[in-house]
Structure 1
Amino acid sequence: MGQDSEPAAGPAIPPPRVVWFRRLRLVALLVVLVVAGVAVARVVTAGGPPTRQDLLRRAGLAGKQQLLIGVKDDQPGIAQVAPDGSYAGFDIDIALMIAADLGFAPGSVRLLPIESEDRIRRQARDGDRFVTVDMVVASFSITDERVRQGATFSAPYLSTEQSVLTLKTDERPVDSLRDLRGRKVCTLATSTAEPNLRDLGALVGTRKRVSECVQDLYDGHVDSVVTDAAILAGFVAHRPGDPWSVQRARPLRLWDIGEAGQELYGVNTGSNVALRDLVDLSLYRSATDPEDRRWEDAFDRNLRWEQPASLPQQVAVDQQPAARKVEVRQWPWETVALPPPAPWRRAARSGARGRGRPSSGC
């Protein structure tokens, strides 16, 4: 080589002003992206569905220490209070299931007795005074009339039908409500069965509590009791040791009167629509989660065992009615904000369930 080779040229180093401008442009781009992200999040938050935590705040449950639930106390199998003050029954199990999904352990739930005529107003008895409960889970059938009067119902959680209860020694058949013409019948004062019975010629008397009607039947003051099969079946299938609010019990018979309509029980949350949505969210998860057996366990424990004594009447449908799907927003960070599942919410589960539609009721 006759000539010296020139050194290879290195990468060009931009002037300091160019470097500064590029960094400024990158920072500006990042700022624009952050602002746009915040704006999009605000739009989605304002226009999209609420989070579960939003619903808890709207329902007034965030930070609440105790949940008040109005329940029946004289309906064996549905809701009954024992001499020690403890409650048991299908409604009780459903109430505690919903409460658990709302974040309330059993020790943070107060169950208060409520009469039928007070269920719309959510006025339950607390000793010698009345208080407004957060929700009512008290064999409360969903009807349009009750909605007009101020009830706000959740999706249904049980499907049953009307039936007739008589003494087993009464050999007069009851195939329909028409067979009660001229007979003395007791039903609840708020029951939609009352006007139908009067129109059919029955001699109707009303009571505030179904146990009072059953006591009248035992004492010979009436010939039959008319209300929902799920309520009456508990009096037919009496188990030794069950707490009873009636005396002089006698063998009973439940009649299938061939009514096509369904009685669908719902939870009344009054004007608290956010709480209604949370209840529906709990029922929807119960109805659709294949590992959730809480509803089935409650049915088996409280109602299924009553069926053999109640034949040919079906006590209640052994599938949870279809529940309303509640749209909630679930961001990746939402799992940080929500508390982990409490131990009392974990249980073995299963099951697809059936549908129903509202009719009239207890």
Structure 2
Amino acid sequence: MTGIAMRASRRTAAAALCAVVVASAAGCATDGTAAVELPVGPALTVGVPGGQPGLAVLRGEGYEGFDIDVAEYIARDLGYARKQIVYVPVDAAERDRAVNEGVVDVMVGYAAVGDGTDAASDDVEIAGAYLSGGLDLLIRGDESGDIASASSMDGRVACTSRGAAAATALREAAPGVAIQERDSVAQCVTALMIGEADAVAADGAVLAGFAAEHGEGYLVTLGRPYADSWRGVAVRGGDDELADRIALALRAMVADGTWDACAAELRAGTGYDPGEAPAPMRDVPSDG
């Protein structure tokens, strides 16, 4: 039995008590059904950011979005059925601890800036990226003439989720910006809508989902990224075996056309253009 199978087997009973298995409603990587049931056999516990339309959001009885499609593809590649996946919402500030302490086996939606070489602590191993883009700003549509770029945020208030890298990068572009931290991007969007913040700073894919959800023109993204970013998968630091297996699964997702299909659904649902699949981050032979 592999290390991941042993860890998952030990956690099956606990997972059944504290979480439900939910399935994606998106059709690019699944059969389109959504069910709530207890895990049968060994469970794969997957951390997700949660509350991010188009990427990872709970709709009724099931999670859906690009992150979920990636998670289900990886799980299937590792030998897990959809009913064996347990999704656990994890805030950005807690993600490294959750992975390192075994709260989750795999973390999808692991967002960072740069090229990924210094993205994680020693507690986390990056298996690979599946979306690349840039940090952007979400603003109220009626202020699009006043806030034209990140530098326009001097003297204004930007909201970021706690633990995210968006704040540091924004301070470099607008040293006079005031940063307001909330527990999630969703809370920042609320702060924006009620006037407690002038903008929300986050990955462009995340912001596009919120803009689409609140109706055309009410909230808008600038479309002028102020730093490169990517979104990927992380596992416990030092677990090279699992990281390599996931890296190969991400390559397969691109090679068999699943990534393109999921990207098309993301584009149709949010207006965000994912571009091309990111290059592999790990040097793993294709034969494993």
| Shorter-chain TM-score above 0.5 | yes
- Matching of residue 219 in structure 1 with residue 194 in structure 2: yes
Which of 215, 222, 229 is the aligned partner of 1:263?
A: 229
Q: Residue 203 of structure 1 aligns with which residue?
A: 178
The structure where strand makes up a greater share of residues is 2
Render the CA deviation track for 1:3-45: whole Å, top value 9, x for unaligned. xxxxxxxxxxxxxxxxxxxxxxxxxxxxxxxxxxxxxxxxxxx
Render the CA deviation track for 1:174-226: whole Å, top value 9, x for unaligned. 33311101111111221222134345101110111000000001111111111
Q: Measured at CA, do residues 123 and 303 of structure 1 come closer, stay the same or move farther in structure 2, by a change above 3 Å?
A: same
Which of 318, 322, 335 is the aligned partner of 2:279?
A: 322
Q: Residue 265 of structure 2 aligns with which residue?
A: 301
The one-letter code sitting in structure 1 at the alignment partner of 2:263 is F
- Matching of residue 132 in structure 1 with residue 103 in structure 2: yes
- Matching of residue 77 in structure 1 with residue 77 in structure 2: no
Offset, 1:171 = 4.0
Separation of aligned partners in 1, 2:143 and 2:158:
14
Larger radius of gyration: 1
Q: Residue 278 of structure 1 aligns with which residue?
A: 245
Separation of aligned partners in 2, 1:196 and 1:120:
20
Residues 165 and 232 in structure 1, CA contact (< 8 A), matched pair in contact too: yes
The one-letter code sitting in structure 1 at the alignment partner of 2:203 is D
Offset, 1:69 = 0.2
Residues 134 and 229 in structure 2, CA contact (< 8 A), matched pair in contact too: yes
Q: Which runs of 5+ in 2 are unaligned?
A: 10-41
Q: Residue 109 of structure 1 aligns with which residue?
A: 85
Q: How many residues align?
A: 250
Which of 95, 112, 122 is the aligned partner of 1:141?
A: 112
- Matching of residue 122 in structure 1 with residue 98 in structure 2: yes
Offset, 1:73 = 1.6
Q: Which runs of 5+ in 1 are unaligned?
A: 1-55, 125-129, 241-248, 308-314, 331-362
Offset, 1:120 = 1.0
Offset, 1:251 = 1.1
Residues 157 and 199 in structure 2, CA contact (< 8 A), matched pair in contact too: yes
* 1:39-188 map, 5 Å: 57-60=2-5, 64=9, 65-84=42-61, 86-122=62-98, 132-141=103-112, 143-188=116-161
Residues 204 and 225 in structure 2, CA contact (< 8 A), matched pair in contact too: no
Offset, 1:305 = 3.5
SS class of match (1:222): coil
Render the CA deviation track for 1:92-147: whole Å, top value 9, x for unaligned. 000000001001111111111111111112269xxxxx961101002422645542
Residues 284 and 325 in structure 1, CA contact (< 8 A), matched pair in contact too: no
TM-score (norm 2): 0.78
Residues 99 and 235 in structure 2, CA contact (< 8 A), matched pair in contact too: no
Residues 44 and 85 in structure 2, CA contact (< 8 A), matched pair in contact too: yes
CA RMSD of aligned residues (A): 2.7
Offset, 1:278 = 0.6
Q: Measured at CA, do residues 139 and 148 of structure 1 come closer, stay the same or move farther in structure 2, by a change above 3 Å?
A: closer
Q: Measured at CA, do residues 170 and 110 of structure 1 come closer, stay the same or move farther in structure 2, by a change above 3 Å?
A: same
State the identity %.
Answer: 27
Which of 245, 253, 263 is the aligned partner of 2:220?
A: 253
Q: Measured at CA, do residues 316 and 262 of structure 1 come closer, stay the same or move farther in structure 2, by a change above 3 Å?
A: farther
Residues 91 and 139 in structure 1, CA contact (< 8 A), matched pair in contact too: no
Q: Measured at CA, do residues 133 and 183 of structure 1 come closer, stay the same or move farther in structure 2, by a change above 3 Å?
A: same
Separation of aligned partners in 2, 1:250 and 1:203:
25
Offset, 1:318 = 2.9
